[in-house]
Amino acid sequence: MTAAAAPTAVRAPVLRSPFGRFVAESAAAGRLVVQPRMGFADLPRMRLGLERTKSAAATTVGTLTIDSYTRLGDHAAARRALDEGAGLNGYPIVSHSRATTRALLDGVRDASFPVQVRHGSSRPHHIIRALAGAGIDATEGGPVSYCLPYGRTPLRDSVRNWARACELLADTVPAPHLESFGGCMLGQLCPPSLLVAISLLEAVFFTRHGIGSVSMSYAQQAHPAQDEEAVLALRRLAAEFLPAGTDWHIVLYTYMGVFPVTEHGAGRLLEESARLAVRSGARRLIVKTAAEAHRIPTVEENVRSLEAAALAAAGATVPPAGTPAPESGIHAEARAFVTAVLDLGDDLGRSLTAAFERGHLDVPFCLHPDNAGRSRSFVDAEGLLRWSSVGSMPIRPDPGPGARAAMTSDQLMSALHGVARRFDHP
């Protein structure tokens, strides 16, 4: 298979999902869709969260974020927690009956307010069955992004699980939408080209297994210009490599690393992410709140963040048509990753596994046994994420000013806390 060859679909893509249609129509009207990370085991509280999200002064979609037990497949523990009234950190969709989840959504989920299930599982089959049974059409994940950062599931197993999950979703939901988490994977220390490539490759994987409506993610990092360039690179690659007719958009995540602890710092970072989404052409923004530095945020705190992000987005300036895009090589690096994987064979699942085995894809500071662990990155004095070592990846390390062989432990901790420090203490 040549680098520019169009991928061969395994299953016929489906029509645009209601979720994808809502995002597209909002974008056409000039509105950024904002979305919370929200999930509660308590049914009245979860219902209130959905209602308040829908009525917020913003263009919103709802979220059912799944609890940790369910993510790990320990459904017995989730059921015990429900029976005993113990706390859960999300909505246990598998433990609740389909009728319960349908009743939760009745009268709130509609064409003007889609709902997405967010989970984090490398074994998502039970979750897919539960959401499909409840009439939900949108979820997220990926064979790489829901494997490497989250546990020790072998990558080969995760790829097989996600191929099955995509096909199950396509078979049980009339028009599903699936979002890749690949652009958020350890994003605070992974240079953007690799995040862009993994997100794009996962989206291609989804389409080859019957999903016709996809989104690709990217997590805000430490430097606005670098982030803007990364999202633009992801858009270019999606236009090139996704099958014709695929419904797709980009979703941006407000910074996923150590978050500012002050109200003003968190607010400034959230507003910057909203402006970045508008400038770069992302269509949807996953927000965070100041409370997340300490605890799970309340419904009210989530709504305040949604409205603040929407206000910042409404005041953001879209670059005039023809404005030169930032270009420091992110697109070229990301494309090198993508073509290196696609050239390994027509079976993208096997190619992804082989790419990690050979070190062609190698996530810095990721301790998963299937990750080679030879790549390293650093944050330079301007806040740019750069490669100091690339192992066997098909790119070159960054030889520019300030380049160094590796970060010390003190430098690593400083890099992890750098964004929070900058926004808390401007």
pLDDT in tens, 157-191: 999 999 999 999 999 999 999 999 999 987 778 99
- Higher-pLDDT residue of 339 and 322 is 339
pLDDT at residue 131, rounded to an integer:
97
pLDDT at residue 6, rounded to an integer:
38
Structure tokens at 365: 């500071």
pLDDT band at 85 (very low <50, low <70, confident <90, very high): confident
pLDDT band at 399 (very low <50, low <70, confident <90, very high): low
Which DSSP letter does residue 249 get?
E
Segment 314-321 shows an average pLDDT of 86
Is 362 in contact with 195 (CB distance < 8 Å)? no
- Higher-pLDDT residue of 419 and 86 is 86
Taken in order of first residue, the domains within the chain and their CATH numbers are 18-314 (3.20.20.240), 345-424 (no CATH)
Q: Whole-angstrom Cα distance, residue 250 to residue 232? A: 10
- Higher-pLDDT residue of 149 and 216 is 216
Is 19 in contact with 61 (CB distance < 8 Å)? yes
266-299 per-position pLDDT tens digit = 889 999 999 999 999 999 999 998 787 677 889 9
Q: Whole-angstrom Cα distance, residue 306 to residue 233? A: 26
Segment 366-393 shows an average pLDDT of 92
Segment 7-20 shows an average pLDDT of 62
Q: Whole-angstrom Cα distance, residue 117 to residue 93? A: 9
pLDDT at residue 27, rounded to an integer:
96
Helices assigned H by DSSP within 315-408: 330-342, 348-357
pTM greater than 0.75 (yes/no): yes
- Among 7-21, 100-114, 218-232, the least confident range: 7-21
Q: How large is the C-alpha radius of gyration of the chain?
A: 20
- If you count DSSP H runs as helices and E runs as strands, how many of each does the chain have, helices first? 14, 11
Structure tokens at 303: 């709504």
Which DSSP letter does residue 189 get?
G
The alpha carbon of 315 is separated from its chain's Cα centroid by a whole number of angstroms, namely 25
144-163 per-position pLDDT tens digit = 999 998 778 999 999 999 99
Is 112 in contact with 26 (CB distance < 8 Å)? no
Q: Whole-angstrom Cα distance, residue 378 to residue 376? A: 7
pLDDT band at 33 (very low <50, low <70, confident <90, very high): very high
Nearest Cα to Cα of residue 33 among 284, 232, 227, 338: 284
To the nearest whole number, what is the mean pLDDT of the chain?
91
Please say if the pLDDT value at position 37 is more than 70: yes
Is 307 in contact with 267 (CB distance < 8 Å)? no
Please say if the pLDDT value at position 8 is more than 50: no
pLDDT at residue 1, rounded to an integer:
38
Q: What percent of the chain has pLDDT over 70?
A: 94
Strands (E), 49-133: 59-60, 62-65, 115-118
Nearest Cα to Cα of residue 210 among 410, 13, 415, 423: 13
Segment 89-102 shows an average pLDDT of 96
- Among 130-139, 220-229, 253-262, 310-319, the least confident range: 253-262
Segment 50-73 shows an average pLDDT of 96
Tell me the sheet residues that pair with 250: 216
Structure tokens at 271: 């507003």
- Measured from the Cβ of residue 25, the count of other Cβ atoms closer than 10 Å reads 14
